[in-house]
């Protein structure tokens, strides 16, 4: 087809060069854009019919305009399109529309000057893809990891089985304000860990196989699609990941309620290719964190009690068996662990839907021996990460909204109550 004069061209982005804009930065830009808008899929179909005769994989004859909405490469990059594909025509129709929504909010309907009139683009404010309800049938359907720049990256699984993500910069700009839909189908559970400013996300698929994808915050790119973790795992019920140095330690609970483990060295050697069966019976949920060069695992047993075991990577030895975490917890439904220095902070959701917490100092003093009841009602899932000396908790509430609260270990204070994470996620 011949190029139309209505193709979407980049507009000046001030101090935000197109080649380096990340999804989070684009979200911050959109938050202050004066002509915020949206449009239904039916309206975008009309624009695409005008722009490209509805061909979502087309490239213009001059090679400058791509996809159903004929978006230029610089504009695609500037508004976060690279999280889906290098070029618009390589992305799905839905992904092209999601980026077009950001362009519409940032540049207005005249970004398509010859095709917006008569299509309803200037007047249709419907959300083309309302945020689906993220699944909470598994306590690990939400996960969080932090990068060295003070950003927390929160990911969850939607009711459509796809991955959604949002970010918060705790050193400055705060939340990005939007949940971005990525990819995946039939995902059931999530965990994540950071190695060298790359967040590695691991998910259970519909058959219990384990998959992975990465977000490289050095470059601002997500990896394309999902890759199965080698070793042939299937039937997994829950999973957790942690890292010592450049090596990720990935554990699952199998269909037999037993713990399995595998490792990946991300600077050389890759995956070891084998899932090793360890021990445990009737395990229901698992989480992990690291102090020094030792990984600490915590699991919920069949009666809701909380147990722990360690892997010491200085010696290459696992501890023998499982030990109950002191304090007499029972009826736990979900759990998360994180560490500041040599102290582990372990939180559970009790049978009453409330948050409980306990700590262990692994260089002296051990467990404090008490589970302290905090707050929250109807909580269904929880995850945590640390920036600086502050732990950030994220939980899915009874209505499916995502909430957060902090524990500042510089002051020893918890934040008051729970605050909803911006972006309107409904789990």
Angle, CA 317 vertex, CA 316 and CA 322 arms, to 5°: 145
Query: Are residues 165 and 37 both part of a single domain?
Result: no
pLDDT of residue 176: 84
**Mean pLDDT across the stretch 41-67?**
94
Q: Note the pLDDT of residue 32.
A: 33
125 occurs within a structural domain: no
CA dist 230 → 9, 206, 227, 244, 265 (Å): 43, 17, 9, 20, 13
pLDDT at 182: 92
CATH number of the domain where residue 195 is located? 2.120.10.70
What mean pLDDT is predicted for residues 397-415? 92
User: Looking at the domain assignment, is residue 127 inside a domain?
Assistant: no
* Number of domains composing the chain: 2
Q: What is the pLDDT of residues 199-252, one digit of tens each?
A: 999 999 988 999 999 999 999 899 999 999 999 888 899 999 999 999 999 999
Residues 152 and 285 in one domain: yes
- pLDDT category at 161 given cuts 50, 70, 90 is confident
Question: Which pLDDT score is estimated for 21?
Answer: 32
pLDDT score at 173: 85
Q: Is residue 292 part of a domain?
A: yes
**Angle, helices 93-107/41-52, rounded to nearest 10 degrees:** 90
Q: What is the pLDDT of residue 18?
A: 28
Residue 188 belongs to what domain range?
A: 142-420
Please, which pLDDT band fits residue 14 given cuts at 50, 70 and 90? Answer: very low
Same structural domain, 270 and 163 = yes
Residue count of the chain: 427
Residue 416 is predicted with a pLDDT of 94
Task: Please tell me whether residues 147 and 103 are part of one structural domain.
Answer: no
Same domain, 360 and 411: yes
Lowest pLDDT segment from 73-82, 137-146, 148-157: 137-146
Q: Is pLDDT at 348 greater than 80 in this prediction?
A: yes
Q: Assess whether pLDDT exceeds 60 at residue 25.
A: no
Phi then psi for residue 426, to 5 deg, are -125, 105
Range from 172-181, 344-353, 396-405 that averages highest in pLDDT: 344-353
Q: Determine the pLDDT at residue 28.
A: 36
pLDDT, average across residues 341-367: 95
For residue 119, tell me if it sits in a domain: no
pLDDT at 236: 93
Return phi, psi of residue 300, to 5°: -95, 125
More confident residue, 11 or 74: 74
Query: Do 94 and 151 lie in a common domain?
Result: no
360-368: long-range pairs with CB below 8 Å, 24+: 360/296, 360/325, 362/291, 362/292, 362/294, 362/296, 363/291, 367/325, 367/326, 367/327
Residue 341, pLDDT above cutoff 50: yes
Domain termination residue (choose one: 88, 111, 134): 111
Q: Is residue 135 part of a domain?
A: no
pLDDT at 17 exceeding the cut of 50: no
Is residue 286, in this structure, part of any structural domain at all? Answer: yes
One domain, residues 217 and 317 = yes
Dihedral, 388, 391, 396, 399 alpha carbons, nearest 10: -100
Q: What is the pLDDT of residues 298-325, one digit of tens each?
A: 999 999 999 999 999 999 999 999 999 9
Quickly tell me which residue has 């193709």 as its tokens. Answer: 7
Q: What is the pLDDT of residues 106-118, one digit of tens each?
A: 899 999 998 999 9
- Residue 160 has what pLDDT? 83
Q: Is residue 121 part of a domain?
A: no
82 plus 174 within the same structural domain: no
Asked whether residue 105 falls in the same domain as residue 153, the answer is no
Mean of per-residue pLDDT scores for the chain: 87
What is the four-CA torsion angle of 306, 312, 316, 318, rounded to 10 degrees?
-20
Statement: residue 378 has pLDDT above 50: yes
pLDDT for 274-305, tens place per residue?
999 999 989 999 999 999 999 999 999 999 99
Q: What is the mean pLDDT of residues 348-353?
A: 94
Task: State the Cα–Cα distance between residues 121 and 107, nearest whole angstrom.
Answer: 12
The pLDDT of residue 84 is 81
Among 248, 195, 244, 179, which residue's Cα sits nearest to residue 394? 179
Domain of 104: which CATH number?
1.10.530.10
Q: What share of the chain has pLDDT > 90, as a percent?
A: 68
Burial class from Cβ neighbours inside 10 Å (0-12, 13-18, 19+) for residue 393 reads buried
4 in a structural domain: no
Distance of alpha carbon 279 from alpha carbon 204, whole angstroms: 20
Assign 3-class secondary structure to the chain. Answer: CCCCCCCECCCCCCCCCHHHCCHHHHHHHHHCCCCCCCCCHHHHHHHHHHHHCCCCCCECCCCCEECCCCEEHHHHHHCCHHHCCCCHHHCCHHHHHHHHHHHHHHHCHHHCCCCCCCCCCCCCCCCCCCCCCCCCCCCCCEEEEECCCCEEEEEEECCCCCEEEEEEECCCCEECCCCEECCCCCCCEEEEEEECCEEEEEEECCCCCEEEEEEECCCCEECCCCEECCCCCCCCCEEEEEEECCEEEEEEECCCCCEEEEEEECCCCEECCCCEECCCCCCCEEEEEEECCEEEEEEECCCCCEEEEEEECCCCEECCCCEECCCCCCCCCEEEEEEECCEEEEEEECCCCCEEEEEEECCCCEECCCCEECCCCCCCEEEEEEECCEEEEEEECCCCCEEEEEEECCCCEECCCCEECCCCCCC
Within this chain, do residues 179 and 258 fall inside the same structural domain, yes or no? yes
Asked whether residue 95 falls in the same domain as residue 220, the answer is no
Residues 91 and 165 in one domain: no
Q: Among the three residues 59, 90, 111, which one is the final residue of a domain in this structure?
A: 111
What pLDDT is recorded for position 350? 94
């Amino acid at each position: 087809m011949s190029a139309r004069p209505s193709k979407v061209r980049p507009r000046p982005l001030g101090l935000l060069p197109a080649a380096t804009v990340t999804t989070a930065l684009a979200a911050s830009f959109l938050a202050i854009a004066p002509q915020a808008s949206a449009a239904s899929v039916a309206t975008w179909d009309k624009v695409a019919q005008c722009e490209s005769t509805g061909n979502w994989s087309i490239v213009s004859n001059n090679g400058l305009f791509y996809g159903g909405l004929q978006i230029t490469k610089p504009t695609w990059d500037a508004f976060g399109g690279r999280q889906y594909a290098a070029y618009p025509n390589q992305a799905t129709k839905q992904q092209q529309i999601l980026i077009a929504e950001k362009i519409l909010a940032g540049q207005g309907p005249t970004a398509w000057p010859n095709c917006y009139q008569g299509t309803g683009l200037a007047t249709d404010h419907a959300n083309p893809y309302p945020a689906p309800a993220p699944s909470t049938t598994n306590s690990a359907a939400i996960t969080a990891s932090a990068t060295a720049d003070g950003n927390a990256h929160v990911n969850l699984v939607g009711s459509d089985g796809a991955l959604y993500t949002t970010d918060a910069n705790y050193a400055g700009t705060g939340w990005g304000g939007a949940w971005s839909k990525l990819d995946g189908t039939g995902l059931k559970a999530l965990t994540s860990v950071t190695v060298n400013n790359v967040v590695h996300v691991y998910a259970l698929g519909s058959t219990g196989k384990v998959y992975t994808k990465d977000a490289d915050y050095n470059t601002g790119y997500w990896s394309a699609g999902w890759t199965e973790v080698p070793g042939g795992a299937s039937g997994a019920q829950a999973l957790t990941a942690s890292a010592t140095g450049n090596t990720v330690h990935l554990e699952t609970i199998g269909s037999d309620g037993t713990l399995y483990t595998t490792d990946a060295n991300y600077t050389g050697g890759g995956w070891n290719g084998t899932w090793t069966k360890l021990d445990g019976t009737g395990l229901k949920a698992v989480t992990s964190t690291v102090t020094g060069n030792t990984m600490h695992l915590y699991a919920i047993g069949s009666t809701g009690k909380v147990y722990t075991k360690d892997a010491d990577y200085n010696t290459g030895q696992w501890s023998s068996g499982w030990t109950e975490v002191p304090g007499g917890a029972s009826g736990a439904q979900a759990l998360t662990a994180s560490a500041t220095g040599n102290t582990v902070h372990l939180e559970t959701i009790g049978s009453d839907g409330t948050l409980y917490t306990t700590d262990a100092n692994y260089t002296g003093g051990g467990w404090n021996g008490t589970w302290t009841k905090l707050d929250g009602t109807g909580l269904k899932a929880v995850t945590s990460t640390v920036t600086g000396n502050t732990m950030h908790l994220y939980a899915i509430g009874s209505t499916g909204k995502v909430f957060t609260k902090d524990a500042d270990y510089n002051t020893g204070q918890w934040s008051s109550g729970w605050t909803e994470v911006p972006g309107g996620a409904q789990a």
